[in-house]
C-alpha cells in the first residue's frame, strides 16, 4: 500500500467553496485500490499554508504528496511542471497578506521541477475521461507558494518522497451563469484517483516521452 497525502485549500477571495478541497475529500473518502490516502485542508494564507503542510507531511509520513489548488477559468485539470521562488499576490490572502516580489524561501533555488511524472499523470486523467493538460505556471499566489514549499521540503529533507501540485477548475456552483469552464468535484476526484495510481506506479525519474509543451 502506497501512502498518499492529498491536500486542498480553504475557500478564498469571498468564495463559499474551494473545489480543490472538495475533490481531495472525495478521493480520501474513496481511495483507489493499493493506496492509503490522507486528506488535509490548507489555509489560503502565505506562510501558514506551508507550515500546516509540513506538519501534516511529518505526521502522515507519505510516500507521495499531491497538493491541489483552484485555477478558475482553466477548462481542465492541470498538472504543474514547475514552481518558482516568488510570492507576488494580486489579491490578499485570507489573512490580509499581500506580498509583492518576495521569495517563498529566502536563498532557495529560483525554481523546482515537480517530482511527479507530469505527462503520465495528464495521460491518466485523459484516459479517465477528464480534460487535462500540463501547466508551466502555478501562478504567484498561495498555490505556487505551497508548490514551491513542498518541492523545497522534498529536496532538502525528504528525498524519498515524491510530490507536486495540481490545479483544478471551478466547480459548477461557482459559475452559475455558465460564463467560464467548470467541472464537478466528483469528476475531478475520479480523474485524480487515476493520477495517483499512475504516479505511484511510475518509477522515480521516469515519464512519458511525449510533447506537452507550450508556445506561450
DSSP character at residue 101: S
State the catalytic residue, choosing from 63, 80, 121, 152. Answer: 80
Which of 181, 180, 147, 177 lies closest to 76, judged by CA? 181
173 a catalytic residue: no
145 a catalytic residue: no
Please give the Cα distance from 111 to 121 (Å, whole number). 21
State the catalytic residue, choosing from 143, 145, 152, 190. Answer: 143
Please give the Cα distance from 83 to 113 (Å, whole number). 7
C-alpha cell at 164: 507536486
> What does the buried/exposed string (b/e) look like for 26-53 if buried means 16 or more CB atoms within 10 Å of the residue's CB?
bbbeebbeebebbbbbbbbbbbbbbebb
Which of 111, 48, 67 lies closest to 85, judged by CA? 111
Q: Which residues contact 201 (CB under 8 A, 6 or more apart)?
A: none
Please give the Cα distance from 75 to 89 (Å, whole number). 23
State the catalytic residue, choosing from 145, 152, 167, 190. Answer: 167
Please give the Cα distance from 185 to 163 (Å, whole number). 21
160 a catalytic residue: no
Catalytic residues: 80, 143, 167
Amino acid at each position: 500500500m502506497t501512502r498518499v497525502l492529498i491536500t486542498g485549500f480553504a475557500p478564498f477571495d469571498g468564495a463559499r467553496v474551494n473545489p480543490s478541497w472538495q475533490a481531495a475529500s472525495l478521493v480520501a473518502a474513496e481511495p483507489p485500490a493499493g493506496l492509503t490516502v490522507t486528506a488535509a485542508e490548507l489555509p489560503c494564507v502565505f506562510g501558514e499554508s506551508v507550515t500546516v503542510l509540513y506538519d501534516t507531511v511529518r505526521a502522515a509520513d507519505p510516500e507521495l504528496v499531491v497538493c491541489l489548488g483552484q485555477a478558475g477559468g482553466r477548462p481542465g485539470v492541470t498538472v504543474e511542471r514547475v514552481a518558482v521562488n516568488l510570492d507576488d499576490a494580486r489579491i490578499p490572502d485570507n489573512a490580509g497578506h499581500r506580498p509583492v516580489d518576495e521569495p517563498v524561501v529566502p536563498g532557495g533555488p529560483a525554481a523546482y521541477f515537480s517530482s511527479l511524472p507530469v505527462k503520465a499523470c495528464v495521460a491518466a486523467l485523459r484516459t479517465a475521461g477528464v480534460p487535462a493538460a500540463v501547466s508551466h505556471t502555478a501562478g504567484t499566489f498561495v498555490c505556487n507558494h505551497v508548490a514551491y514549499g513542498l518541492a523545497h521540503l522534498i529536496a532538502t529533507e525528504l528525498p524519498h518522497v515524491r510530490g507536486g501540485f495540481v490545479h483544478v477548475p471551478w466547480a459548477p456552483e461557482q459559475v452559475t451563469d455558465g460564463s467560464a469552464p467548470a467541472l464537478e468535484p466528483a469528476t475531478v476526484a475520479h480523474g485524480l484517483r487515476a493520477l495517483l495510481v499512475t504516479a505511484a506506479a511510475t518509477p522515480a525519474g521516469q515519464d512519458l516521452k511525449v510533447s506537452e509543451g507550450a508556445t506561450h
